[in-house]
Chains A and B, each alone.
Chain A
Amino acid sequence: MQELTGLFLDSLRLLAGFDGNLVEIVALSLHVSLSAVVISGAIGLPLGALLAISRFPGHGAVIVLVNALMGLPPVVVGLLVYLMVSNAGPLGVLQLLYTPTAMIIAQAVLVTPIVTALARQTLEDLNAEYGEQLTAFGVGRAGRVATLVWDGRYSLLTALLAGFGRAIAEVGAVIIVGGNIDHVTRVMTTAIALETSRGNLALALALGFVLMIIAVAVNGLVMALRLTEPRSAHA
């Protein structure tokens, strides 16, 4: 207990002596994870919507698969993406390895199943609620997706936040495809891993606090956004 308190105080002291390097690392973390969430949303929301409104042979199997992929270990995703973008791999010619782009791709792969699965559940519930009305209006597939996504926007935002939480906190994927290169691909989580491996536990903890503060800030911003809109009661 005493050691923890000591570490805690040390880390606060380190944070106070504010580092320019720290800003760079934080900025990169946000760049990578936010970009990954945007991509995941662009893929996962329509995909989840389509799964919510369509029925086809094997529909159940696809849902089981998507839900299972939510549990993909980040390090496995990192390994798979690495094998693809490595110079010996099929996409080697793109020279993406050890760049932030590769990290964004890896995190997008990690987060898309989460967004898809949560979007599907939300939109399926919405469709069950008033899907018949849309049918009665003669709304086509695309129109139905657009209507449900807009109507469910707050729940879908939560799905995106869940994806962001996963992305900003993971280390397994970005450390393999990014290489944790100083000033190039070092993000919060890989920096924490590095400092821990150096035995600099106070610094690692300090970085951990910063990470949590960032996560709280992002969620706080989104909550503030939600409060500006009138909340609809559930009929």
Chain B
Amino acid sequence: MRFILAVLALVFSLGTAKAEFILVQSTTSTESSGLFGHILPMFTAETGIEVRVVAVGTGQAIKNAERGDGDVLLVHARAAEDRFVAEGFGVARHDVMYNDFVIVGPQDDPADVNGLSDPVVAFERVAAAAVPFVSRGDDSGTHKAELALWKEAAIDAAAASGTWYREAGAGMGPTLNIAASMNAYTITDRATWAAFGNKGNLVIHVEGGERLLNPYGVILVNPDRHPNVKAELGQTFIDWLTGPRGQEAIASFRIEGEQLFFPSAE
């Protein structure tokens, strides 16, 4: 009975939150990995500021921030971030951390890429073997990084779309679901992979190369553009994140003992 009353009370009392809060537009990779779940409570405990994260694809996060629907932008697409600031939507870009990409694929490795550290060579072999490869296809940071690699390998993957090259148009998690069920190759950030619960028959084949590094940047949304932006609170968050305590928090995040994000602020 008490339980029912508690639920009813909850149901009808929901609505207004009284605490101070900021809204961060970020990517699914940082949310799905569990990083935010680890570091944000530390920030809130120190400052009393609640951080609400909207986790969508990089492209959508940037678009939302351009519309002023967020106070801080935290993504991993350097060119797009620079353009965001240059066009006046953001105040300034700061390095925060980097993680790395890995190429995963079926255990029996039909494209023979296992052990490589150069993703460009790996991509060439995948294309040559014409084995299934799933792309995020959603204009995200990961997707942009993937496209840059195909370009460097001088392979027109889009031309093969629908055959061995499958464009999911989805976040990292759903893309991994597809790759797992199709027994296909795909490129993913290590953090999402480590936290992913449906690996199926896939294992990591290519990792460690410098071309696989994935840097994140944090930007305050420009309050001159959108007066509703909580500039002060947002800056507090950025300062904390790029300061010693935030950087330490990032470094302390582990999945099964493995560190996934590496602090990189000066």
Q: List residues of A whose CB falls within 8 A of some B CB.
A: 23-24, 26-28, 30-31, 34, 86-89, 92, 95, 97-98, 100-101, 179-182, 184, 194, 196-201
Contacts and interface: CB of A to CB of B under 8 A. Distances in A.
B69 A97 contact: yes
Interface centre among A28, A89, A184, by most chain B C-beta atoms within 10 angstroms, is A184
A34 B54 contact: no
Nearest to A201: B198
Interface in B21-49: 23, 28, 32, 37
Given A97-B69, A199-B198, 15 more contacts: A23-B7, A23-B10, A24-B10, A86-B64, A88-B66, A88-B68, A182-B37, A182-B53, A197-B32, A197-B172, A198-B32, A198-B173, A199-B199, A200-B198, A201-B198
B177 A199 contact: yes
B173 A86 contact: no
A87 B25 CA distance: 14
Contacts of A97: 69
Contacts of A184: 17, 52
Contacts of A88: 66-69, 226
Interface residues of B, number: 36
Interface in B155-171: 171
Interface of B: 6-7, 10-12, 14-15, 17, 23, 28, 32, 37, 52-56, 64, 66-69, 171-174, 176-177, 180, 195-199, 226, 228
Contacts of B173: 196-199
A114 to B, nearest CB: 22
B197 A201 contact: yes
A197 B37 CA distance: 16
A199 B196 contact: yes
Contact of A30 (B11, B56, B69, B197): B11
A135 B176 CA distance: 65
Given A179-B54, A180-B54, A197-B174, A98 B14 contact: no
Nearest to B200: A199
Contacts of B176: 199
Given A27-B14, A86-B69, A196 B177 contact: yes
25 contacts: A23-B6, A26-B7, A27-B7, A27-B11, A31-B11, A31-B14, A86-B69, A87-B67, A87-B228, A88-B67, A88-B226, A89-B67, A97-B69, A98-B69, A179-B56, A181-B54, A182-B53, A197-B171, A197-B172, A197-B173, A198-B195, A199-B176, A199-B177, A199-B180, A200-B197
A57 B196 CA distance: 58
A34 B197 CA distance: 33
Contacts of B198: 199-201
B255 to A, nearest CB: 12
A98 B54 contact: yes
B69 A100 contact: no
Interface centre among A27, A92, A95, A101, by most chain B C-beta atoms within 10 angstroms, is A27
A101 B28 CA distance: 24
Contacts of B14: 27-28, 31, 100
Contact of B28 (A28, A30, A197): A197
A201 B200 CA distance: 12
Contacts of A95: 228
A88 B55 CA distance: 19
Contacts of B69: 86-88, 97-98
